[in-house]
Amino acid sequence: MDVKCPNCGTDNTQDSEFCKKCGTQIIKPEEQPIPTKTLEAPKEELTTGSTFAGRYHIIEELGRGGMGRVYKATDTKIKEKVALKLIKPEIASNKKTLERFSNELRIARKIVHKNVGRMYDINEEKGTHYITMEYVSGQDLKGFIRQSGQMGVGTAISIIKQVCDGLSEAHKTGVTHRDLKPSNIMIDKEGSVRIMDFGIARSLKEKGITGAGVMIGTPEYMSPEQAEAKEVDQRSDIYSLGVILYEMMTGRVPFEGDTALSIAMKHKSEVPKNPKEYNVQIPDDLTKLILKCLEKDKGNRYQSAGELYSELNNIEKGIPTTDRVIPKRKPITSKEITVSFSAKKLLIPVLAIVAIAIVGLFLWHPWSRIEAPLKQTSKPSVAVLPFEDISPQKDQGHLCIGIVDSVISALSNIKDLRVPARGSLSLYKKEERDYKEIGETLNVSFVLDGTLQKSGDTLRITPRLINIADESILWSDKYDKEIQDIFSIQDDITQAIVDELKVNLLAEEKNKVYKRGTENAEAYNLYSLGKFHLEKRTDEDFNKAYDYFNKAIELDPNYALAYVGLADTYIVHPSWGSPPPDAKLKAEEAVAKALAIAENLAEAHTSLAWIKFYYHWDWEGAEKEFKRAIELKPNYATAHQWYAEFLNNMGRLDEARQEIEKALELSPLSLIINTMVGFIDFYGRRYDKAILQYKKTMEMAPDFLGLYDYLFYAYLYSGKYKELLDEAEEWLEKGIINETRLNYLRMRCELRMGRKEALSQYFEQIKSDVNNYNKASMYFELGDIDQGFLFLEKAYEERYAAMRFIKVNPAFDNMRSDPRYKEILRKMNFE
């Protein structure tokens, strides 16, 4: 009598241990569990919008596998999204299986690492057993491989290095994954690789949990020892990584077959083909690395994830810097020069993670290093690097940011001390710090960094001050205090730096250093959370930022910086998402309240200046506020950056260049400030210089979409049409632009070359995505001056934001003597 496979239903002989089709273990009839009432109608499928177990609101199904279905859900109890995995009834009905999963989940929960998705718990609801785990917004690696086919060497290495980081932590904890595969590797919205589904992991120290002869894993990615259901260790994960890397580089797995069992047996007995047979572009040293991972004898493989990481690192050094990127979805919304497109229409689902373009309008997180020219200074200088969160839950990132911001803000008030802005410091993660390189790049003599750990209501903060010259520790201390004492900790750290650097403070400057916005620790914590989410630049995070800033204000109605944070959220949101319809009014109200509380707050004056400039075209009022902000806080990089853009639009390009250089000196690695250097060159008609600057900035962040807009116009007005269109084709292939956008670029090039028929060829395809301001420039290039002014007048009546560029935009160079152009300038108070 045949025995049916509990997974796929295939008939197998009675003596079969594993299913001949899918490889699932066959449970003999005498070992089958006795059905109970709770198994009569188990839930195997949930519908969108339903609620499970009284707390999980189902959003969508994410996928299904050998264990069961996985759903994205909102845990209404903690108000967070989670991944919910329903375990198949035939698996859950076995008591020993449930015990095994519970034990292994307990072990997997020990792993706390940025590259490992957290496992939460296993529970039961009316006979249905389920596992909850961290939900990671993004796309799995399998999907990306399907889209890209054969991946670039740099991209593949970047991903696998992060996987190695996560595995190293798991292996140190004593856990091996045993089901590592591309569908279990996610890239989240921050651009980090995350290993998922440690739910079937087994402790290397606790043998016998799984049970003898049980083969767990996915056949295409399992090691030879797994195929034989033998004891496994961390080297089994190394083998799986080799299979994954093989697939990333060739677009196929090393072994395929008609059944799961046949594939598993090939891992045991067959030698994989050299991956270069499928992709001749794979470097020889990477080929050797892959084949070493795939050795049958685990003693011949890399013996640890750390060893594999080191070898990958060595290979990576030999590839171009621009190729060392992690794939991300490309958001289209970006700061405009002359084009505005609908974000919903242009969203490209390359990877469901938010690209670097969501990072701040004025605080940026560049992803790779680039040297920026710095002015030498005799002032003492200190860079305050991001503190490392070593709390068990790794959930105090906002507090780490808050401490660093507070110390930087305090020290920036000292005229005899130079402190780079935090936007230029985010690059330096803890494990990557080369202090001498940081000192040279940021032009500082000292570095402050440290760790933060929260346990209950107690904080342990351990700062240290390092002398770049010899990397000696000048000062270090440890603070164990209640969270409500956070302000005294910040004061102590600041005073210690001042003492060590022997800066002579005037009494007035001392008051500036220690003046803070609130004495309410919880309000400060909420403010830090607001800033944390504001920098992420997604609609969801903007909404969280509004909420946190408003809650901080509820706790302390006199917290001026919280009002500034709220105002800046309303100011920045329109450039990155779908803001509230009353964003302008709300921003003005929040800034007014901040200034009513602290009339000399530089940050508030900067925000007010931008409102006057951006919304009201009040050029005189905006400049007055920019100058006031810089007078109050000369080291505030954002004030110099925004003032530079203002001066540029006024046509005062030499002054604009001076201001952007000041901003660059204060924050030399800021992506947006480096971009603005090229921006000012562009409007100064130095197109070739602008192209070089944009290319240089791209080395910092190839996925910053705004750069491609800027580069497009620099190419266009320099007359480099062929170079532009050649690169645009590459941008299309990489998913940076879509076909509609490419047609727009083609049309603009052909119009500049005098091919008037281009308008009728492309315009119908793109006109719904082109605003009146850009339609005007297109008709001017076409030679239809009357039609051009018709659309320019419409843009003025709409108070379209890009109209503030009208005085310097090269698209209007041939119209400047026309009375209609001069009349628009007059109405906008430019003349």
My answer on whether 296 and 250 are in the same domain is yes
Average pLDDT over residues 668-692: 85
My answer on whether 226 and 78 are in the same domain is no
Residue at which a domain ends, from 134, 150, 175: 134
Q: Which of 188-192, 397-401, 554-558 has the highest mean pLDDT?
A: 554-558
**Other Cβ atoms within 10 Å of 276 Cβ, number:** 16
**What is the C-alpha separation between 514 and 17, in angstroms, rounded?**
72
Task: Show the tokens assigned to 590.
Answer: 């929040």
pLDDT tier for residue 214 given thresholds of 50, 70 and 90:
very low
Would you say residue 534 has pLDDT above 80? Answer: no
CATH of the domain at 65: 3.30.200.20
The kind and range of the H/E element at 749 are helix 739-752
With the C-alpha atoms ordered 735, 737, 743, 746, is the resulting torsion angle positive or negative?
Answer: negative
**What is the C-alpha separation between 828 and 15, in angstroms, rounded?**
87
Would you say residue 750 has pLDDT above 50? Answer: yes
My answer on whether 296 and 373 are in the same domain is no
Q: Are 404 and 467 in contact (CB under 8 A)?
A: no
β-pair type (446-455, 138-140)? unpaired
Average pLDDT over residues 641-667: 89
Average pLDDT over residues 563-583: 84
**Which residue range is the domain that position 801 belongs to?**
716-827
Lowest mean pLDDT among 6-10, 371-375, 786-790: 371-375
Please enumerate in sequence order all residues whose Cβ is within 8 A of that of 418, keeping only pairs 6 or more positions apart, or say none.
377, 379, 380, 381, 382, 444, 635, 666
My answer on whether 248 and 149 are in the same domain is yes
Phi, psi of 237 (to 5 degrees): -65, -35
Length of the chain: 831
My answer on whether 149 and 202 are in the same domain is yes
pLDDT tier for residue 607 given thresholds of 50, 70 and 90:
very high
- The answer as to whether 450 is a domain residue is yes
Instruction: Return the beta strands (E) in 652-716 as ranges.
Output: none
Residues 794-808 have pLDDT tens digits of 989 988 878 888 999
Average pLDDT over residues 797-825: 88
Q: What is the pLDDT of residue 247?
A: 93
Residues 768-784 have pLDDT tens digits of 667 888 888 878 877 78
Q: Are 251 and 174 in contact (CB under 8 A)?
A: no
My answer on whether 157 and 126 are in the same domain is no
Residues 220-272 have pLDDT tens digits of 888 888 877 777 889 999 999 999 999 999 888 999 887 777 888 888 888 99
DSSP 275: G
Q: C-alpha distances in angstroms, 201 versus 222, 233, 264, 772, 773?
A: 13, 11, 19, 58, 58
My answer on whether 152 and 62 are in the same domain is no
My answer on whether 296 and 158 are in the same domain is yes
Q: What is the pTM of this model?
A: 0.46
DSSP 592: H
Task: Show the tokens assigned to 82.
Answer: 């989670």
My answer on whether 398 and 299 are in the same domain is no
For 52-86, give one letter per residue: b (16+ CB within 10 A) or e.
Answer: bbeebebeeeeeeebbbbbbbbbbeeeeebbbbbb
Total number of domains constituting the chain: 4
Residues 445-494 have pLDDT tens digits of 888 888 888 777 777 777 888 888 777 777 677 777 676 666 666 667 66
Residues 60-72 have pLDDT tens digits of 877 766 577 888 8
Would you say residue 215 has pLDDT above 60? Answer: no
Average pLDDT over residues 618-636: 91
My answer on whether 271 and 156 are in the same domain is yes
Secondary structure (DSSP) of 473-499: EEEE--EEEEGGGHHHHHHHHHHHHHH
Q: C-alpha distances in angstroms, 77 versus 54, 57, 74, 106?
A: 9, 10, 9, 22
Q: Are 637 and 667 in contact (CB under 8 A)?
A: yes
- The answer as to whether 297 is a domain residue is yes
Lowest mean pLDDT among 127-131, 346-350, 818-822: 346-350
My answer on whether 114 and 147 are in the same domain is no
Please enumerate in sequence order all residues whose Cβ is within 8 A of that of 78, keeping only pairs 6 or more positions apart, or say none.
none
My answer on whether 169 and 313 are in the same domain is yes
Residues 145-184 have pLDDT tens digits of 876 677 878 888 989 999 999 898 888 877 888 889 998 8
pLDDT tier for residue 442 given thresholds of 50, 70 and 90:
confident
Residues 694-721 have pLDDT tens digits of 888 877 767 666 677 788 888 888 888 8
CATH of the domain at 481: 3.40.50.10070
pLDDT tier for residue 42 given thresholds of 50, 70 and 90:
very low
Q: Which residue has the higher pLDDT, 1 or 40?
A: 1
Residue at which a domain ends, from 464, 488, 516: 516
Residue at which a domain ends, from 484, 516, 548: 516
pLDDT tier for residue 669 given thresholds of 50, 70 and 90:
low
- The answer as to whether 623 is a domain residue is no
Average pLDDT over residues 273-287: 89
Would you say residue 683 has pLDDT above 60? Answer: yes
Percent of the chain with pLDDT over 90: 18
Q: Which residue has the higher pLDDT, 751 or 512?
A: 751
**What is the C-alpha separation between 494 and 766, in angstroms, rounded?**
55
- The answer as to whether 582 is a domain residue is no
Would you say residue 693 has pLDDT above 50? Answer: yes
CATH of the domain at 318: 1.10.510.10
- The answer as to whether 43 is a domain residue is no
- The answer as to whether 604 is a domain residue is no
Q: Are 751 and 759 in contact (CB under 8 A)?
A: yes
Q: What is the pLDDT of residue 645?
A: 92
- The answer as to whether 706 is a domain residue is no
Average pLDDT of the chain to the nearest whole number:
76
Average pLDDT over residues 619-644: 90
Q: Which residue has the higher pLDDT, 281 or 216?
A: 281
- The answer as to whether 277 is a domain residue is yes
**What is the C-alpha separation between 671 and 642, in angstroms, rounded?**
14
Tell how far CA 198 is from the center of its chain.
Answer: 23
Q: What is the pLDDT of residue 523?
A: 81
